[in-house]
Amino acid sequence: MQFRETRPIYLQIVDYVCEKILLRQWNAGDRIPSVRELAVTLEVNPNTVMRTVEFLQQKEIIQNRRGVGLFVSDTAYQYAMNYRKNEFMEKELPFFFRNLVLLQTDIEELEPSFKKYVKKNFPNIK
């Protein structure tokens, strides 16, 4: 995973987990990799992943079943969607709008490019 310096790593891992859920690669009730497994896969410190897990549990996106492992919660899809949408609206959208204004670009100009991007990268999503 490529990490950006502008955002804490544990929050980037939160985004990674949310993306897996929103793409339905991990569904409600699915067991997800352990803290150690995720740390090895993402090449980060297990303490960083533990911080991610605590955050996701507070958001009710994942749950820890003592002695069994980590699981996607029943409410995960909606809570992950709400979390990611809020993050996008508060942090990324203002920067995006600023660029539109600076580049004198109208949102309607973006629609063909957006549709092409979705078709190419997310063919199963309509």
Q: What is the pLDDT of residue 102?
A: 96
- pLDDT confidence bin for 124, thresholds 50/70/90: confident
- pLDDT confidence bin for 9, thresholds 50/70/90: very high
What CA–CA distance (Å, rounded) separates 26 from 111?
30
Has residue 126 got a pLDDT over 70?
no
> Token digits for 27?
């569904």
Provide the whole-model pTM: 0.86
Q: Which residue stretches of the chain are H helix?
A: 9-22, 35-42, 46-58, 76-87, 93-102, 107-121
- Per domain, the residue ranges of the chain are 9-76
Contacts of 30 (CB under 8 A, 6+ apart): 71, 72
Across the chain, mean pLDDT equals 95
Over residues 74-117, the pLDDT tens digits come to: 999 999 999 999 999 999 999 999 999 999 999 999 999 999 99
- CATH no. of 9-76: 1.10.10.10
Has residue 1 got a pLDDT over 90?
no
